[in-house]
Amino acid sequence: MQNTKSVDELKYPVFKTYMVQISMQQPWKIRLHLEDREEKTIFLKLANQIIEEILSGRLSSGSRLSGSRSLADELKINRKTVQSVYEDLEAQGWLISKPRQGTFVAENLPELKPKKINAVAEPNPSPSTTSPVPIKNDGIPDTRLIPYELFSRAYRHALIQVTRSQIMGYGDPQGSIELRQALLQMLSMERFIKTTIDNICVVRGSQMGIFLAARVLAKQSSPRKVIVVEQWSYPPAIETFLSHHYQVVRVRLDQYGLDIEHLEEILEKHAVAAIYTTPHHQYPSTVTMAMDRRLKLLELSKAFNFYIIEDDYDHEFHYDSRPIPPLISLPHAEKVIHIGSLSKVFAPSLRIGYVVANRDIIHAMNQDILLIDKQGNIITELAMAELMQQGEIKRHIRKMRKIYQQRRDFALNQFQSVFKDQVEMNSPLGGMALWVKFKFPYRAEYAELLNQLHIDAEAHFAEQGQQLNEHFHIRFGYAAINETEISNIIRLLYDAFQPDD
């Protein structure tokens, strides 16, 4: 074979490495100027400035950016701000980080026309600010912020893997071993849950997990035909329990979560098969159940021999303190059926959820899955497993947590600024929605706008026939909309409600 190395490379082994390093260096360092920009925060000023320099050609594909420390010193800003901007633009596809080399402008840019970021990390233009958002605005993720390039790569790898391994046939009803192993590590490290892959079942979203739990318990719990739900609760779960011929009994809520004393009264009167609860961020009121109540609930489960269906639908998004450990991680959790989902991390259409429970429950669920979902979704499961194992999902969650917290704070301020003393709400510790109390009666004419905005009022979550008198609540999702959209929607609500001044 002909040797294609140059004479200098053959004589000097370090020559090639040296030339690569020289080629990555730039003779001139681009200067950035932030003082005259109109954005409100340093983060937005710097992010938009870099995007504009890329689109103008001053920063061409492959160009190396200054290190975070040197750029922070040059601009006299915090280094963490520079690091956050770099991480955010890398996630959007503008930049790429190379270990031990630096941060570079990506070769394949995400878009070809200039635009500014209106809130933290918004990769696509906002929907029209004069028309309602075309989504269910009850606390869903912003699908515009999905790292599509990472998704595409993971799906390609998964497709190649299943093709080469000839595993395009029926999958394991319990879910792929790769995804269950990735989930096991996450649950252990992030949620204090001690379990095994045999106690984990992959499902198509949390709703399928709720359905399977109801179906399995309906077979096991006869003559127990009562399921307890919270005063306000998740309507699809209620419909699921009713479809399995359960009697649904509601337990009161307060600022600390489920009212344990009221629950004890219910347990004395009814043969309860299970209680369905959303303790981390109660749906829809966003309240976090206090630890003493969690422990007492588990003690009651053991004493009265009922199951707890724990719907932990958005555990990842907790802002002001460390998340409280889920029920299944605490003592006396033998009868807890823990349901989680990755849909709140990326998009509702992802349809990847999981159930953690004792092996009898998991085995019974597997038998039912064979009846309704024998094929499974091996490609998506392998793709998600890869993203989890590589740390990409954790990184995306960390990025989204910052964005959603900023949107929560902005929405709180906007409601208080626009409605003033006509509105009351607590700042939720986490989650993706606000539970907003209006201090005036609900009127029938409000329904049209709320339906257009895909916002649900209190009656949607309450027992049928409940009357709204002196005040009412709405569940306002802030995660899927940016600050401009938040402002416009709140103004539309104010104009429609026209509260007394």
Residue ranges making up the domain that contains 60: 42-105
Locate the DSSP E strands across 178-313.
200-203, 226-230, 247-251, 253-254, 257-258, 272-277, 307-311
CATH number, domain with residue 78:
1.10.10.10
Radius of gyration, alpha carbons of the chain: 26
Q: Is residue 117 part of a domain?
A: no
Report pTM: 0.74
Residue of higher predicted confidence among 83 and 285: 285
CATH number, domain with residue 164:
3.40.640.10
Q: Is residue 427 part of a domain?
A: yes
Whole-number percent of the chain with pLDDT over 90? 54
Torsion, Cα 337 342 347 352, to 10 degrees, reads -70
Q: Tell me, what's the pLDDT at 29?
A: 61
- 88 — pLDDT class (breaks 50, 70, 90): confident
Q: Are residues 382 and 409 in the same domain?
A: no
3-state percent helix, strand, coil for the chain, nearest multiple of 5: 45, 15, 40
Q: Are residues 235 and 205 in the same domain?
A: yes
Q: Is residue 469 part of a domain?
A: yes
Query: Domains in the chain: how many in total?
Result: 3
Q: Tell me, what's the pLDDT at 229?
A: 98
Cα–Cα distance for residue pair 456/442, rounded to 1 Å: 12
Q: Is residue 14 part of a domain?
A: no
Q: Tell me, what's the pLDDT at 335?
A: 97
CATH number, domain with residue 481:
3.90.1150.10
Q: Are residues 202 and 162 in the same domain?
A: yes
Q: Are residues 241 and 302 in the same domain?
A: yes
Q: Is residue 131 part of a domain?
A: no
Tell which residue, 122, 128, 126, 91, has the closest CA to residue 106: 91
Q: Are residues 62 and 74 in the same domain?
A: yes
- 383 — pLDDT class (breaks 50, 70, 90): very high
pLDDT digits over 352-375, tens only? 999 999 999 999 999 999 998 877
Least confident piece of the model among 120-129, 141-150, 207-216, 268-277: 120-129
Q: Tell me, what's the pLDDT at 216?
A: 96
- 18 — pLDDT class (breaks 50, 70, 90): very low
Q: Is residue 445 part of a domain?
A: yes
Residue of higher predicted confidence among 191 and 252: 252
Q: Are residues 353 and 238 in the same domain?
A: yes
Q: Which two tokens stand for residue 103?
A: 């941060």
Widest Cα–Cα separation across the chain: 92
- Whether residue 420 is predicted with pLDDT greater than 80 in this model: the reply is yes
Cα–Cα distance for residue pair 86/50, rounded to 1 Å: 9
Cα–Cα distance for residue pair 158/177, rounded to 1 Å: 14
H or E element in which residue 228 lies: strand 226-230
Tell which residue, 5, 96, 3, 9, has the closest CA to residue 54: 96
In the three-class reduction of DSSP (H, G, I as helix; E, B as strand; rest coil), residue 461 is classed as coil
Q: Are residues 171 and 92 in the same domain?
A: no
Q: Are residues 370 and 428 in the same domain?
A: no
Q: Tell me, what's the pLDDT at 168?
A: 57
Cα–Cα distance for residue pair 179/171, rounded to 1 Å: 12
